[in-house]
Amino acid sequence: MKFLKAEFVQGFIRMANDGWEQGWHERNGGNLSYRAKPEEVESVKENFSVGEWQPIGTSVPGLAGEYFLVTGSGKYFRNVIIKPEDSIGMIELDEKGENYRIVWGLAGGRPTSELPTHLMNHEVKKELTGGRYRVIYHAHTTNVIALTFVLPLEEEVFTRELWEMATECPVVFPAGIGVVPWMVPGGREIAVATSRLMKEYDAAVWAHHGMFAAGEDFDLTFGLMHTIEKAAEILVKLLSMQPQKRQTIQPDDLRRLAEDFKVMLPEKFLYEK
């Protein structure tokens, strides 16, 4: 099958373009990765042209031999839909999970600068979900970033404030949201900090930078990013109108919601204010 005709490739391209249209990917901002299924790799293998092994910059033994579709370093989400063979590519990891090689696309370029964070998040999620989770997404979500200048950089506060912004929020991200303080992006250190939070959460805020989201498929992962960013937009609007809420969803309301929607909301987020 032609590489670009494969359903998983089409889904990846659509998600990248959806993110662009949301305004989360100025210039070369943001990145996306997908851990391909063996049968998907098999279905497009005839198109491969294998490059040289390169160091990942971290070690992900739990992902040895796996294939990933990734956005490229310095590439623009805006161009993914018109120049996919240049903007995205597929990589293969070696048997130690220390090196990668490009097998399709990226036209002489490199995978995303955030490859260490993507792969370390994939490694955590693959193990924790028995392989169900396949998507890691990083976006420069405007309103979440704005909140990182105003709210304390604590997961209890971010989670609780965003839960209160829309009734669907506690149901969509019942485990809450992690928060990474400002760090230099692109390396192993921020990858370690983010993947540690991914053991508990499906989303992590990067202070003054953006957000990472993880999920089973493109719809769930994009939907998670979208829901959190929309909640952040409501909070920004509310704080712009007046600093206090006149009324809100209370901890006991959240407990009742959890019961009806059969989700577990950790008590650490249901504190009295």
What residues does 205 pair with on adjacent strands? 179, 211
Q: Which is nearer to Zn ion, 8 or 77 (CB)?
A: 77
Q: Which is nearer to ligand 2HA, 31 or 221 (CB)?
A: 31
- Phi, psi angles (nearest 5°) of residue 121: -65, -45
- Distance (Å, rounded) from C-alpha 12 to C-alpha 99? 23
- Minimal distance in Å, beta carbon 249 to ligand 2HA? 33
Per-residue binding letters, 123-162, with ligand 2HA (x by CB under 6 A):
---------------x------------------------
- Distance (Å, rounded) from C-alpha 233 to C-alpha 146? 9
Q: Which is nearer to ligand 2HA, 28 or 159 (CB)?
A: 28
- Minimal distance in Å, beta carbon 212 to ligand 2HA? 10
- Minimal distance in Å, beta carbon 52 to Zn ion? 26
The answer to whether 30 contacts ligand 2HA (rule: CB under 6 A) is yes
- Distance (Å, rounded) from C-alpha 160 to C-alpha 169? 10
Q: Which of 9, 31, 144, 148 is the binder for ligand 2HA (CB under 6 A)?
A: 31
- Distance (Å, rounded) from C-alpha 209 to C-alpha 138? 10
Per-residue binding letters, 85-124, with ligand 2HA (x by CB under 6 A):
----------------------------xx----------
Residues 6+ away with beta carbon under 8 Å from 273: none
Stretch that binds ligand 2HA, among 24-32, 47-55, 58-66, 255-263 (CB under 6 A): 24-32
Stretch that binds ligand 2HA, among 12-20, 28-36, 150-158, 192-200 (CB under 6 A): 28-36
Spot the catalytic one: 66, 114, 155, 161. Answer: 114
The answer to whether 216 is a known catalytic residue is no
202 binds, among ligand 2HA, Zn ion, none (CB under 5 to 8 A by kind): none
Residues of this chain, 200-229, that bind Zn ion according to CB under 5 A: 210
Q: Which is nearer to Zn ion, 166 or 207 (CB)?
A: 207
- Minimal distance in Å, beta carbon 210 to Zn ion? 5
Report the SS3 class of residue 29. Answer: coil
Residue 158 contacts residue 205 (beta carbons within 8 Å): yes
Which of the 8 DSSP states describes residue 181?
A: P
Q: Hey, what long-range contacts does 83-92 have (CB within 8 A, 24 or more apart)?
A: 84/4, 84/9, 84/13, 85/4, 87/16, 88/12, 88/13, 88/16, 90/3, 90/36, 90/44, 90/48, 91/67, 92/50, 92/65, 92/66, 92/67
What residues does 90 pair with on adjacent strands? 69, 104
- Report the interface residues with Zn ion, using CB under 5 A: 210
User: Catalytic positions, please?
Assistant: 114
- Report the interface residues with ligand 2HA, using CB under 6 A: 28-31, 113-114, 138, 185
